[in-house]
Chains A and B, each alone.
Chain A
């Protein structure tokens, strides 16, 4: 285990070496975790997006660092490889002067068949204030909350949830359309592709409906089972034209190549023909509609290149917004909002 663990001191540029008393871990009872959005009210989520505005401003300064989380330790616990997400959290923590420890168990024998409690209890001796957890199986971040007093941020668990991705998508959306508390009212988000296997789809559906938008899910029935229509505020269609028509934002999901081998799709060509976002199909979207993709983008598969590179595309802004959103999440959980 020690081999996978590397503590890195991220002392801010401008501090005295005077040791501060350790910040107490957040007390049980207040809002402690970001696992999904079930426990978060619309007001709290809007406040998170407002905090993101502040963090984004910090990142435009010459010295992109504030002492907000000085003396606190954030541990990234990645049981599944994801360099981009881990680096984004890492940057978000360091930009607020937190110390960062990273534990990577992806691909190792540790990832399978271990007692999660045993793993966490060991790591817990290192006194992190917050864990950022990524795991290939749904529910692991929820399970971990039972065995630690530290805060837990779900950085993606199986097909279940990826709340910071959804928050950065919502932030990107609000950035584009403006408006404060009512930015999402009466708006429509279409999510296209492999919904069944997508934590991004689940989290976005949950967040956007909670913020007041309408969500349409679209994909072939093998990747979009009808039970999704049971989600509140969500409708389901298997026709791309129907999903895109009048939509303010269209999000294409990643399509894993392995889906083809499991009988879920007849062929890539058939998928592209039916569900690729093209200029032609985007013409029926609402005026000023945007195109989103959680990345990494496989060109001319989920999205035609001209759309991905066109003026509707906000794919690059999504990536850029990852850090301020995660800064806001860490800040809110470790320091609090109001």
Chain B
């Protein structure tokens, strides 16, 4: 494995701001700073921010079985292009990841790609059918790090309770897609004044709040570590906060799109904006941002959910839910939250680094000798338009097309290997 130096980089990690140094990587790990000596590759950083690569606990890679939407290669390349060094893949594939062999296969195939690391989630119920638990222990032994039926809420409270008990015993994180199914019903957007005006079936915030309450109560009852995925509404967040304050062992995730888009986007009738849970009102967005500022939120998960163009060109009832956003997450949030003064850069980095690591019980990533060389170099200055056609993801369409953003990852290194490089780099 080669020796690489990031020349004159501004080093920042969860432990603080370490100033400008030459950071050396050797043998897949961080070697140290300002060491000198021969290198195989020199990355001229011009003072750009070098920081641990991001962790995404919520990625739909669509592999196996839905490779027309995304596959391991395109999805993990997209992750690297977005500055992510590790992603947790969701289990709602075809077949569903509910058997140890499927987990092993994913891990083995991903390791060969030299892109972002893959740490798969496994399904909570067999076939996501919501009636029988999967073999948690065997799935964990095969490499699964999280248990979730994400995409389909677990309707049966008894099954969810047993899943929590079993996962607690194994130290597994349960991630929940908390929406009460009979209330959510056929809703394709947030239920409110806009859905009434547009004549589209709505999904009320009460569906989310109710289910977060149930899932939080079950966490409290069983002691399981329950990760509430993609909290989208003010009510949902308030319920989650209260449970957390009451000592329930839950963690809270928000997504880039719920922090930046509102239900008014559906007035375009473009299924690009159809996502579950739905985009909410400006009031909800403001509350989520406030919760982020107050430190209530544990991580930003992308919920990167790619679909084919043809699927997103159906009518709004039959088009599938999901926004593909791995490659714009950091620039989007940096531009809309940090550059506007709403959020400090350290907080945003925390939500993509130490925050998700803590949710999972992993070591917080650090730029210290011996740490895995999972790094991302962020250019905080250059302003570039979002161009879906340049995405590594197979989903080359995005709600933010044409928007000019700053904070683009320039280089992402995973285990000492340069997985992604954007723009001009000094030759080695």
Contacts and interface: CB of A to CB of B under 8 A. Distances in A.
Interface of A: 112-118, 135, 137-140, 142-143, 157-161, 196, 199, 202, 225, 227-228, 230-231
A115 B314 CA distance: 5
B193 A139 contact: no
Contacts of A115: 309-311, 313-314
A230 B199 contact: no
A155 to B, nearest CB: 15
A69 B270 CA distance: 32
Nearest to A160: B199
Shortest 5 CB-CB distances between A and B: which pairs?
Answer: A139-B269, A159-B199, A160-B199, A137-B315, A115-B310
Given A112-B318, A137-B315, A227 B196 contact: yes
Contact of B313 (A116, A137, A228, A230): A116
Contacts of A158: 199-200, 317
Nearest to A159: B199
A228 B318 contact: no
A118 B316 contact: no
Nearest to A230: B193
Contacts of A138: 198-200, 269, 316
B268 interface: yes
Contacts of B193: 227, 230
Interface string B294-322: 00000000000000011101111110000
Contacts of A142: 268-269
A160 B198 contact: yes
A118 B317 CA distance: 17
Nearest to B315: A137
A219 to B, nearest CB: 13
A199 B315 CA distance: 17
Contacts of A116: 313-315
B315 A139 contact: yes
Contacts of A112: 318
Contact of A137 (B197, B268, B317): B317
Contact of B199 (A113, A117, A143, A202): A202
A116 B316 CA distance: 11
B196 A113 contact: no
B192 interface: yes
A55 to B, nearest CB: 29
Contacts of A225: 196
A7 B199 CA distance: 33
Given A116-B314, A138-B198, 6 more contacts: A114-B314, A116-B313, A135-B315, A139-B269, A142-B269, A202-B197
A127 to B, nearest CB: 22
Nearest to A38: B267
A161 B200 CA distance: 11
A160 B188 CA distance: 14
Contact of A113 (B192, B197, B269, B314): B314
A276 B160 CA distance: 47
Contacts of B317: 137, 158
A118 B311 CA distance: 11
Contacts of B198: 138-139, 160
A196 B311 CA distance: 27
Contacts of A113: 314, 318
A118 B310 contact: yes
B196 A143 contact: no
17 contacts: A114-B314, A115-B310, A115-B313, A137-B316, A137-B317, A138-B200, A139-B198, A142-B269, A143-B269, A143-B315, A157-B199, A160-B198, A196-B196, A199-B199, A202-B199, A227-B192, A230-B197
A228 B199 CA distance: 11
